[in-house]
Amino acid sequence: MFRPTIKVLAVAALALASAAPAGSQGAIVTSGEVNTFAQGVGLGYDITGKARMIRTPSGKTIVSLQVKGLDPNTTYPTHVHKQACSNGNAGGHYQDVVGGAVDASNESWPTVSSNAAGNGQGMVVNDWYARPEAQAIVIHSTPTSIRLACVDLS
Protein backbone atom coordinates (compact mmCIF):
# COMPACT_ATOMS: atom_id res chain seq x y z
CA MET A 1 0.00 0.00 0.00
CA PHE A 2 1.28 3.47 -0.88
CA ARG A 3 2.03 5.36 2.33
CA PRO A 4 3.33 8.83 1.56
CA THR A 5 5.32 10.53 4.27
CA ILE A 6 3.73 13.25 6.35
CA LYS A 7 5.87 15.77 4.45
CA VAL A 8 4.46 14.58 1.11
CA LEU A 9 0.90 14.71 2.44
CA ALA A 10 1.41 18.15 3.94
CA VAL A 11 2.84 19.58 0.71
CA ALA A 12 0.07 17.99 -1.36
CA ALA A 13 -2.65 19.21 0.98
CA LEU A 14 -1.17 22.70 1.10
CA ALA A 15 -0.92 22.87 -2.69
CA LEU A 16 -4.52 21.72 -3.08
CA ALA A 17 -6.01 23.86 -0.35
CA SER A 18 -4.09 27.07 -0.85
CA ALA A 19 -4.77 27.73 -4.50
CA ALA A 20 -7.89 25.81 -5.51
CA PRO A 21 -10.75 28.20 -6.19
CA ALA A 22 -14.10 27.35 -4.64
CA GLY A 23 -16.20 25.20 -6.92
CA SER A 24 -13.26 24.05 -9.07
CA GLN A 25 -12.83 20.48 -10.21
CA GLY A 26 -10.80 18.13 -8.04
CA ALA A 27 -7.26 16.99 -8.59
CA ILE A 28 -6.40 14.37 -11.18
CA VAL A 29 -4.40 11.57 -9.58
CA THR A 30 -2.50 8.90 -11.49
CA SER A 31 -0.38 6.23 -9.89
CA GLY A 32 1.36 2.95 -10.47
CA GLU A 33 3.70 0.21 -9.31
CA VAL A 34 7.46 0.33 -9.78
CA ASN A 35 8.88 -2.39 -12.07
CA THR A 36 12.55 -3.09 -12.71
CA PHE A 37 13.66 -2.71 -16.33
CA ALA A 38 15.60 -5.63 -17.87
CA GLN A 39 18.81 -3.55 -17.66
CA GLY A 40 18.21 -3.08 -13.94
CA VAL A 41 17.63 -6.80 -13.44
CA GLY A 42 20.85 -7.47 -15.35
CA LEU A 43 22.68 -5.25 -12.87
CA GLY A 44 21.20 -7.16 -9.91
CA TYR A 45 18.37 -4.81 -8.97
CA ASP A 46 14.87 -5.83 -7.86
CA ILE A 47 13.24 -2.44 -7.38
CA THR A 48 9.66 -2.27 -6.15
CA GLY A 49 7.39 0.44 -4.83
CA LYS A 50 4.70 2.93 -5.71
CA ALA A 51 4.48 6.34 -7.32
CA ARG A 52 1.81 8.99 -7.67
CA MET A 53 1.27 12.12 -9.74
CA ILE A 54 -1.25 14.72 -8.62
CA ARG A 55 -2.33 17.41 -11.05
CA THR A 56 -3.94 20.08 -8.91
CA PRO A 57 -6.80 22.42 -9.84
CA SER A 58 -4.39 25.30 -9.19
CA GLY A 59 -2.13 24.18 -12.04
CA LYS A 60 0.64 22.44 -10.09
CA THR A 61 1.96 18.90 -10.56
CA ILE A 62 3.13 16.90 -7.53
CA VAL A 63 5.10 13.69 -8.10
CA SER A 64 6.10 11.32 -5.29
CA LEU A 65 7.72 7.88 -5.12
CA GLN A 66 8.52 5.32 -2.45
CA VAL A 67 10.78 2.45 -3.52
CA LYS A 68 12.75 -0.52 -2.17
CA GLY A 69 15.67 -2.46 -3.60
CA LEU A 70 18.08 0.40 -4.23
CA ASP A 71 21.73 0.63 -3.29
CA PRO A 72 22.15 2.03 0.24
CA ASN A 73 22.67 5.76 0.77
CA THR A 74 22.50 6.63 -2.92
CA THR A 75 20.77 9.40 -4.87
CA TYR A 76 19.11 8.38 -8.13
CA PRO A 77 18.22 10.77 -10.95
CA THR A 78 14.50 10.25 -11.50
CA HIS A 79 12.37 11.87 -14.20
CA VAL A 80 8.84 11.91 -15.56
CA HIS A 81 8.89 10.47 -19.09
CA LYS A 82 6.56 10.95 -22.04
CA GLN A 83 5.74 7.36 -22.97
CA ALA A 84 4.67 4.18 -21.21
CA CYS A 85 7.41 1.97 -19.74
CA SER A 86 6.87 -0.67 -22.44
CA ASN A 87 7.04 1.90 -25.25
CA GLY A 88 10.72 2.53 -25.99
CA ASN A 89 11.62 2.24 -22.29
CA ALA A 90 9.36 5.27 -21.62
CA GLY A 91 10.81 7.51 -24.34
CA GLY A 92 12.39 10.83 -23.46
CA HIS A 93 11.80 13.18 -20.58
CA TYR A 94 8.45 14.93 -20.34
CA GLN A 95 8.84 18.70 -20.75
CA ASP A 96 6.40 21.45 -19.84
CA VAL A 97 7.73 23.50 -22.78
CA VAL A 98 8.53 20.94 -25.48
CA GLY A 99 12.02 21.54 -26.82
CA GLY A 100 12.77 23.89 -23.94
CA ALA A 101 15.41 23.74 -21.26
CA VAL A 102 16.56 20.38 -19.91
CA ASP A 103 16.34 21.37 -16.26
CA ALA A 104 14.26 20.91 -13.11
CA SER A 105 12.05 23.89 -13.99
CA ASN A 106 10.93 22.57 -17.39
CA GLU A 107 10.99 18.88 -16.48
CA SER A 108 9.76 16.94 -13.46
CA TRP A 109 12.67 15.51 -11.45
CA PRO A 110 11.49 13.75 -8.25
CA THR A 111 15.05 12.67 -7.38
CA VAL A 112 15.06 9.54 -5.18
CA SER A 113 17.47 9.18 -2.26
CA SER A 114 17.86 5.87 -0.43
CA ASN A 115 18.66 5.14 3.18
CA ALA A 116 21.06 2.53 4.62
CA ALA A 117 18.49 -0.23 3.95
CA GLY A 118 18.12 0.72 0.25
CA ASN A 119 14.63 2.17 0.72
CA GLY A 120 14.14 5.47 -1.02
CA GLN A 121 11.72 8.25 -1.63
CA GLY A 122 11.49 11.31 -3.78
CA MET A 123 9.12 14.15 -4.41
CA VAL A 124 8.84 17.28 -6.52
CA VAL A 125 6.24 20.02 -6.94
CA ASN A 126 6.24 21.68 -10.36
CA ASP A 127 4.52 25.02 -10.98
CA TRP A 128 2.81 23.74 -14.13
CA TYR A 129 0.07 21.26 -15.01
CA ALA A 130 1.40 18.08 -16.65
CA ARG A 131 -0.34 17.18 -19.90
CA PRO A 132 -1.60 13.61 -20.54
CA GLU A 133 1.66 12.62 -22.26
CA ALA A 134 3.35 12.58 -18.82
CA GLN A 135 2.90 8.81 -18.68
CA ALA A 136 5.73 7.28 -16.66
CA ILE A 137 8.46 7.84 -14.09
CA VAL A 138 11.94 6.39 -14.66
CA ILE A 139 14.63 5.80 -12.02
CA HIS A 140 18.10 6.08 -13.54
CA SER A 141 21.41 4.76 -12.21
CA THR A 142 24.19 6.96 -10.91
CA PRO A 143 26.45 8.03 -12.63
CA THR A 144 25.69 6.19 -15.89
CA SER A 145 21.97 7.07 -16.25
CA ILE A 146 20.97 3.50 -17.14
CA ARG A 147 17.20 3.11 -16.85
CA LEU A 148 16.81 0.87 -13.81
CA ALA A 149 13.07 0.94 -13.08
CA CYS A 150 9.83 2.45 -14.34
CA VAL A 151 6.31 3.27 -13.21
CA ASP A 152 3.40 3.56 -15.63
CA LEU A 153 0.99 6.27 -14.39
CA SER A 154 -2.67 5.48 -14.90
| CATH assignment of the domain containing 89 | 2.60.40.200
Give the number of other Cβ atoms within 10 Å of residue 93's Cβ.
Answer: 16
User: How many independent structural domains does the chain possess?
Assistant: 1
Burial class (CB in 10 A: 0-12, 13-18, 19+), 50: middle
| Residue 136 pLDDT | 98
Task: State the Cα–Cα distance between residues 1 and 14, nearest whole angstrom.
Answer: 23
Give 10-residue mean pLDDT values along the chain (154 residues): 42 39 68 97 97 97 98 97 96 97 97 98 98 97 94 97
Contact in structure between 121 and 66 (CB atoms under 8 Å): yes
Q: Classify residue 98: in a domain, yes or no.
A: yes
Structural domain contains residue 22: no
pTM of the model: 0.83
The reply to whether 1 falls in a domain is no
Whether 20 is in a domain gets the answer no
- Beta-bridged to residue 139, according to DSSP, are 78, 149
